[in-house]
Amino acid sequence: MVLVIALVMLVSMTLIMTASLYVSQLSKKSATAGQQQLQVAQKALAEHLAALNTSPVEAVDEFVVCPAEYAAWSDSVLRCKTLLLSTETYGPRGRFYSGYTSLVLQQSLTEEITADEFK
């Protein structure tokens, strides 16, 4: 009788330990996946910021009058475009994804300003 009780206790302790080990393995996998996703997101943001400065971006819309003019005389010489830049980054083996999209307002001078325009 004592042997049967000991055997039942041993089996129940084994099941409890197995469940505990399984939960800890899942926790470790989840933490590792979260860390990898953060690394992919940081890499994607760095690539996106670098692409804003280097890559040519297609214009989405061009304004006749720029929003938030600096001065009354700037209306005729400033041109504005909205640019759309999208970047995507995939993690190892394509399991993780991070993407960024930016809408940029680009201002440029259309002509040279002469002293006669200020009179």
Q: Which two tokens stand for residue 42?
A: 């940081």
The tens digit of pLDDT for each residue in 55-106 reads 666 777 777 677 766 666 666 777 788 888 888 888 888 888 998 888 888 7
Q: Average pLDDT of the chain?
A: 81
pTM: 0.61
Contacts of residue 43, Cβ cutoff 8 Å, sequence gap at least 6: 89, 98
The tens digit of pLDDT for each residue in 21-61 reads 999 999 999 998 889 999 999 999 998 888 877 766 677 77
pLDDT range class, residue 17, cuts 50, 70, 90: very high
Burial 83-96 (b: 16+ CB within 10 A, else e): bebebebebeeeeb
Instruction: Break the chain into its structural domains and give their ranges.
Output: 2-118
Which residues on adjacent β-strands are paired with residue 106? 81
